[in-house]
Amino acid sequence: MLLSEAIEALLTATIADGRSARTVEGYRSYLGYLLDFLGDRAVEEVSAHDLRAYAAYLRSRTERYTGHPQRVREEGALSPYTVAAYLRPVRRLFRWLEQEGLIDDNPAGKLKLSQPGRREPKAVSMEDFQKLLAATEGDDPTHRRDRALLLFLADTGCRVGGVAGLQVADVDLERGLARVTEKGDKTRLVPFSQFTRDALLAWLEVRPSEGPWLFVNLGSRGQERLTADAIGEVLRRLKRRAGVKGPVNPHAFRHAFAREYLRAGGDLSTLADILGHSSVEVTWRFYSVYRVDELKAFHERYSPIARMQGEEDDS
């Protein structure tokens, strides 16, 4: 089996397993770079040395792409996070080939994935969020839709695919719950606040579509849903209008939700349920960095030395 055929077979299996379209396209994109590097050879001929050479090439690159949606070349090495993103699908491909009995030995088994140190995720700041929200002030359909979209993203921490796939029937305004489907076919109930409910009601009053989708395009394409890319474009437009410089993308709202939830005293276990993580360990890996502020506050309150200092100040 040629490498190109193996990649297509993995993509087919990934679709059959119910994984999201974004996961499938991610595999296709990243494995395409491997195909360019190695050439379309038989998978049985790919060695551990070949894959190490590919990893070394990634780590030694002096150019990268930046910007979205336009990809522009710029000088600079790939970050450890980007290198890991390139290599994870490679390990997945050869592990799958071994499991399917298509190769005898897995050459990616010894491929080392460096574990970058945890960093604070890039979240929308509350100051920037207030500016974005102010940019949606108005009573026309576009302002109402954008305001409801902003509040839903910030209030639920949902992935953009789940928001794009919301139908009107999925939203229970009376109970403040939305049935969200993400990452293929994983469905869960997500709560939202009264503030968001009011914004959704205002949007539904002027929503010009008889179709099922909650967030739709306006104008001549009013029957079409807002795709994940279209939601990103809405946020970029609001960012320009509000004069915001910090990160404003759908996932930045997810990070902001997690940050504010933990800083307000929420626990990782319930946060994992709200975000739809498979386990609390996933939540800890990505978001426990936000607990530093909370731990500092508890330390200042309960540390025996801090308490001793407080008693001296009171005397």
**How far, in Å, CA of 161 to CA of 230, rounded?**
11
Q: Is a pLDDT exceeding 80 seen at residue 83? A: yes
Angle at 35 between CA 97 and CA 91, to 5 degrees: 40
pTM of the model: 0.63
**Mean of all residue pLDDT scores within the chain:** 83
Is residue 69 very low, low, confident or very high in pLDDT (cuts 50, 70, 90)?
A: very low
pLDDT tens-digit map of 138-189: 999 999 999 999 999 989 888 888 899 999 999 999 999 999 887 767 788 8
Residues 12-28: b if buried by 16+ CB within 10 A, e if exposed: eebeeeebbeebbebbe
β-pair type (63-66, 177-182): unpaired
**How far, in Å, CA of 161 to CA of 288, rounded?**
24
Helices 80-99, 3-16: axis angle to 10 degrees equals 90
